Structure 1
Amino acid sequence: MSATSTLQPAALTGPLRPHRRPSILARRVLGLFGWTVDAPGLPAEQGVILVYPHTSNWDFVVGLMAKWAVGIELRFWGKDSLFKAPVVRHWMRWVGGVGVDRSSPHGIVADTVRQMQDAAARGERFWLAAAPEGTRALTSGWRTGAYQVAVQAGVPVGLCYFDFRQRVVSVTRFVMLTGDMQADFAAFADYLGPRVGKRPELASPIQPRAVPGPRT
């Protein structure tokens, strides 16, 4: 990354494509616990949603209910081993899981970019949701796989937060990345940094995670 950058991700402000199958029941269940969902639509048929912060197992529960409440169609990465048992495989696919083969010679990013491009060619919606911290534990920063998918596929990124203080799930800000990681992550931090997770002390800093060098 460069030491300084004047680039900024371009905010998308055009009309949004509405979600397709909202669930009144899921919205009511969230409402019983004081949660609201602010997610009016998507700016394109393909894209990536980055979710922050991820500090608790409750994030998956709240996120799944929010997905159903507004009818947003999302995919998420899951270990391919989870898709081998028939019952679990069907459930994972039903909720949007995409099996990840870490042994793929092309890599997870390239495989997902290809899947997204294939979906675009078929006229299908494909939005990948990812929690780039990759774990509920405190880490040195974000994994960059989902970011690289957005850059290589040339698709917009939605910035989603789960704020446990305000009890709101929000997906209202969408940007086109610059490809300059420093500039893009600075914009992510400005918007997502103030959000409060279930366990705030476990929220990782919004910066690319350092990749360990080879052992010597």
Structure 2
Amino acid sequence: MTSKFFNRSKAAAQSTRSKILPRLSKKQLGNLVPRRGNKVAPVIAAALLKAAGWRTVGEIPNIPQAVVLALPHTSNVDGVYAIPGLFALDLKVSIMGKHTLFKVPVLAQLLNWIGVVPINRSNKGSVLQASIDRFKTGEPLFLGLSPEGTREYTKNWKTGFYYLAVGAGVPILPVALDYKTKEIRFMSLVYPTGNIEADLPKIYAQYQGVLPRHPERLSQPLKDVNNLAG
């Protein structure tokens, strides 16, 4: 049933969705958005992305901070397209990494360049608070998270990303990796109100029609928004 749904919607999505959303380039990023500041990497990454037949579309608002959602994440191959996509834009999206890794000088420099944020994972509460505190410093920070928490099917999303955004007072920027249109799609901001039951459907809805690499692994919230069986 999953494959039938996506096959039916493929032609329509390719003919309309890409035309509605503008192509993104690093020249379109505002002055407040976190950047890597590398002149060579974007050129190489853009060439790799183009060779693979992928592109970045949508709009990145000119804001200094956001929780960035990367979905759907059903395969390690996702990174093969997502990473060049970010580098092509010169966009710095940070991810969390164990704080102990930063004790190695050379490795610490590499992790900082990639955009890894050191986090002590000793307990879940401290991870959330440490992430909130990082935002509270005021530094430009787009923190990337995958609320599915796994590349396999999952019934529910992990909601830490939501409470992080609420605690830090920052918006949520949904990003889709769509294998149907070969697009890395930056979508509309969601400003969390503190009412998670009301806000999550706003995020789910933006992923309607998005095709992951492995449709059978699509998380249940995204299956529901696409009217697919679990």
Q: Under TM normalisation by the shorter chain, which class is it?
A: 0.7 to 0.9
More moved, 97-106 vs 127-136: 97-106
- Per the normalisation by structure 1, the TM-score is 0.78
Distance 1:90 1:206 in 2: 38
Shift of 1:92: 2.5
- Per the normalisation by structure 2, the TM-score is 0.74
Query: Alignment partner for residue 184 of structure 2, among 169, 178, 190?
Result: 169
Distance 1:77 1:178 in 2: 25
The equivalences for 1:23-172 within 5 A come to: 23-38=42-57, 40-103=59-122, 107-118=126-137, 120=138, 124-172=139-187
Shift of 1:81: 4.9
Superposition CA RMSD, Å: 2.3
The C-alpha deviation readout for 1:132-163, integer Å capped at 9, x for no partner, is: 11111111221111211111111111110000
What is the one-letter code of the residue matched to 2:180?
A: R
What is the one-letter code of the residue matched to 1:148?
A: Y
Cα distance change of structure 1 residues 136 and 46 upon mapping to structure 2, 3 Å threshold = same
Cα distance change of structure 1 residues 190 and 40 upon mapping to structure 2, 3 Å threshold = closer
Conserved 8 A contact 1:188-1:206 = no
Shift of 1:191: 0.8
More moved, 20-29 vs 46-55: 20-29
Shift of 1:184: 1.2
Structure number with higher relative contact order (C-alpha < 8 Å, ≥ 6 residues apart): 1
The equivalences for 1:196-211 within 5 A come to: 196-206=211-221
What is the one-letter code of the residue matched to 1:117?
A: K
Shift of 1:72: 1.0
Cα distance change of structure 1 residues 185 and 90 upon mapping to structure 2, 3 Å threshold = same
Instruction: Give the number of the structure whose residues are more often helix, by fraction.
Output: 2
More moved, 43-52 vs 153-162: 43-52
Distance 1:205 1:180 in 2: 20
Conserved 8 A contact 1:39-1:70 = no
What is the one-letter code of the residue matched to 2:75?
A: S
Conserved 8 A contact 1:156-1:177 = yes
Distance 2:157 2:208 in 1: 13
Shift of 1:83: 4.0
Aligned length: 189
The C-alpha deviation readout for 1:36-65, integer Å capped at 9, x for no partner, is: 012543332111111110000011222211
